[in-house]
Amino acid sequence: MTKAEDFQPMLLQSLEPRPKRMTFNRLGEGKDGGPPEPASMGSAVYTFDSTFVPRDAHVEALANLRSFIAELSGAQQAYLLLNGTTSGNLGMVLATVRPGQKIIIPRNAHKSVLGGVVLSGAAPVFIQPEISAELNLVFTIKPEQIRQALLDNPDATAVLLTNPTYQGFCLDLAETERVVHQSGKLLLIDEAHGPHFRFHPDLPLSAMRAGADIAVQSTHKILGPFAQTSVLLVNSQRVDDIRLRMAMTMITPSKISHLLAGSLEAAMTQIAEDGEAILQRVIDMTENARDRINQIPGVRAIGREVIGKSESVVDVDLTKLVIDVAGLNLSGYRAARVLHDDYGVSAEMAGATTVTMVVTLGNDQKDLDRCVTGVEQLSRRQRSARAQSSPLLHILALQTPPMGRQVLVPRDAFFARKARVPVPESTGKISGESVIPYPPGIPVLVPGEEITPEIVEYLTSVRRTGIEIHGCEDRSISTLRIVDEREFLHNFGSGWG
């Protein structure tokens, strides 16, 4: 452990000005629109973090902010989340699904959804999202899949979906709402990437407008407050209010940071006052960049043409810039690295053959110009180099194995004692961890599932490609953490099989 006198304040030092990353344009900008430099952070920031605000005033201000956000978002209630959508997803599942009850979720749900499943003791029923072979990207879920999952699991309590995806693909929320509520289930939406939808008519349908019971939004990802500030919105007679409040108390700090909540207040005030105009500017800049990128050889910026290519995508978020670099024989990861290191353009995320840029309220035309120029240079440079196929593409050719049987609910697997075994010896055991290859970002295993021979074979092939594996302890995927058989026999009866 680092001794106090050796401590280096790395957080502040790491705030070197980076050209692409947004800054909130009301709380003060650094040079050239970049984040504030460490020195400029000064003491001003700390004055916002006052602990001396009278308690009553503090409570009143927070209640005031909550009703403002609720009203603005078309919700009955809003909870402030200062630990991101992660905490909201935990609270949302904890508040709505009891131990052993079923919750229908996409297989590629954010890890915090699985966290909520562990906390609540719920039994997940997974739906596989559609993969676009053309774009090497994960799309979303079709209403038909939800209808089928509800037919197969009439005892399910809730359906929790991610909308939009990281890349801005949107499922048919209106039809989904009809299907889910007709069966008397709760509709919960992880709307981490859609806090802006409500504020512009050309953006996709928001969860609250569609009639979802609860939605969680990462306000910080798009609308400009400090990182980690999110909101949970409720609009439902079906949700047990008291249980939700108790769940939220469990996942919320007792002392709310003035600095974070203040930045949320400023962001929401800004969007309330000028939302449509600000978002129009962002959409126009992004559409213009998309058109220019589409003139560049070997690359393609994905836009509205993707709508309707599959029933799982009925709309797209026009503020996302998803660039397909497959025509350059380059992986998205490599392209993102070159764009960042050589052209000062930071992508939000990379995939097998795509790079996703999030254009926020803090970005300006210069940022978008830099992005287009970077992609131009990348294209020129890559076309003059000898084309080399990316090994990442081979992983996509691999057939994902069917899910293993769920022997334990994730909560029991989480608490069980674990053992580590080499992958080839794991057949027939119960996984004690998630294993998520990127791409495509869909778990092959989640805790509590049986490890089948097909999964072992798949993991062995995946390992050879050297792609990134998330969720598990040994990311080289030579070993797996499994539920200790002796403990299982002791706690759960005569075994599995």
Ligand X SMILES: Cc1ncc(COP(=O)(O)O)c(C=O)c1O
Listed ranges 83-91, 171-179, 316-324, 448-456: which one lies at the site for ligand X (CB under 6 A): 83-91
Sign for the CA dihedral angle at 266, 268, 273, 278 comes to positive
By CB under 6 A, the count of residues binding ligand X is 11
The angle subtended at Cα 251 by Cα 417 and Cα 269, nearest 5°, is 145
Least separation in angstroms between CB 192 and ligand X: 3
Listed ranges 80-88, 114-122, 412-420, 477-485: which one lies at the site for ligand X (CB under 6 A): 80-88
Kindly tell me which residue out of 84, 211, 362, 441 binds ligand X, with binding defined by CB under 6 A. Answer: 84
Pairing, β 214-217 against β 186-190: parallel
Measured between alpha carbons, how far is 56 from 227 in angstroms, rounded to an integer?
26
3-state secondary structure of 472: coil
Least separation in angstroms between CB 65 and ligand X: 18
3-state secondary structure of 74: coil
The angle that helices 55-73 and 258-293 make with each other, rounded to 10 degrees, is 30
Measured between alpha carbons, how far is 69 from 199 in angstroms, rounded to an integer?
12
Does 190 engage in binding with ligand X (CB under 6 A)? Answer: yes
Kindly tell me which residue out of 73, 112, 263, 329 binds ligand X, with binding defined by CB under 6 A. Answer: 112
Least separation in angstroms between CB 446 and ligand X: 16
Nearer to ligand X, 73 or 86 (CB): 86
What is the DSSP secondary structure assignment for residue 35, as one 8-state letter?
Answer: P
Q: Which amino acid is at 110?
A: H
Nearer to ligand X, 166 or 199 (CB): 166
Listed ranges 40-48, 79-87, 123-131, 388-396: which one lies at the site for ligand X (CB under 6 A): 79-87
What is the DSSP secondary structure assignment for residue 407, as one 8-state letter?
Answer: -
Nearer to ligand X, 112 or 286 (CB): 112
Does 257 engage in binding with ligand X (CB under 6 A)? Answer: no
Kindly tell me which residue out of 120, 230, 360, 379 binds ligand X, with binding defined by CB under 6 A. Answer: 230
Residues in the chain, overall count: 497
Least separation in angstroms between CB 383 and ligand X: 33
Question: Which of 442, 392, 353 is CA-nearest to residue 127?
Answer: 442
Label residue 410 left, alpha or beta by phi (over 0 means left) and psi (-120 to 50 means alpha).
Answer: alpha
Question: Which of 268, 270, 229 is CA-nearest to residue 80?
Answer: 229
Nearer to ligand X, 81 or 413 (CB): 81
Nearer to ligand X, 166 or 438 (CB): 166
Nearer to ligand X, 86 or 390 (CB): 86
Least separation in angstroms between CB 348 and ligand X: 9
Rg (the chain; Cα; Å): 23
**Whether 146 contacts 104, CB under 8 Å:** yes
Does 85 engage in binding with ligand X (CB under 6 A)? Answer: yes
Kindly tell me which residue out of 206, 218, 263, 312 binds ligand X, with binding defined by CB under 6 A. Answer: 218
Nearer to ligand X, 82 or 234 (CB): 82
Nearer to ligand X, 165 or 452 (CB): 165
Does 162 engage in binding with ligand X (CB under 6 A)? Answer: yes
Does 351 engage in binding with ligand X (CB under 6 A)? Answer: no
C-alpha distance from residue 101 to each of 159, 180, 403, 409 (Å) = 12, 16, 20, 10
Kindly tell me which residue out of 192, 212, 264, 299 binds ligand X, with binding defined by CB under 6 A. Answer: 192
Listed ranges 82-90, 281-289, 316-324, 357-365: which one lies at the site for ligand X (CB under 6 A): 82-90
Does 131 engage in binding with ligand X (CB under 6 A)? Answer: no
Least separation in angstroms between CB 301 and ligand X: 21
3-state secondary structure of 50: coil
Kindly tell me which residue out of 86, 176, 434, 452 binds ligand X, with binding defined by CB under 6 A. Answer: 86
Buried b (16+ CB within 10 A) or exposed e, 177-208: bbbbbeeebbbbbbbbbbbbbbbbeebbbbbb
Kindly tell me which residue out of 126, 166, 197, 488 binds ligand X, with binding defined by CB under 6 A. Answer: 166
Listed ranges 20-28, 84-92, 175-183, 436-444: which one lies at the site for ligand X (CB under 6 A): 84-92
Nearer to ligand X, 162 or 406 (CB): 162
Closest residue to ligand X using C-beta atoms: 84
List Cβ neighbours of 319 (8 Å cut-off, separation of 6 or more). 168, 196, 203, 222, 279, 282, 283, 286, 358, 359, 360
Measured between alpha carbons, how far is 65 from 198 in angstroms, rounded to an integer?
18
Least separation in angstroms between CB 219 and ligand X: 8
Nearer to ligand X, 222 or 467 (CB): 222
Nearer to ligand X, 222 or 323 (CB): 222
Least separation in angstroms between CB 394 and ligand X: 26
Measured between alpha carbons, how far is 91 from 81 in angstroms, rounded to an integer?
10
Least separation in angstroms between CB 109 and ligand X: 7
The encoded tokens of residue 135 equal 């774009």
Contact set with ligand X (CB under 6 A):
84-86, 110, 112, 162, 166, 190, 192, 218, 230
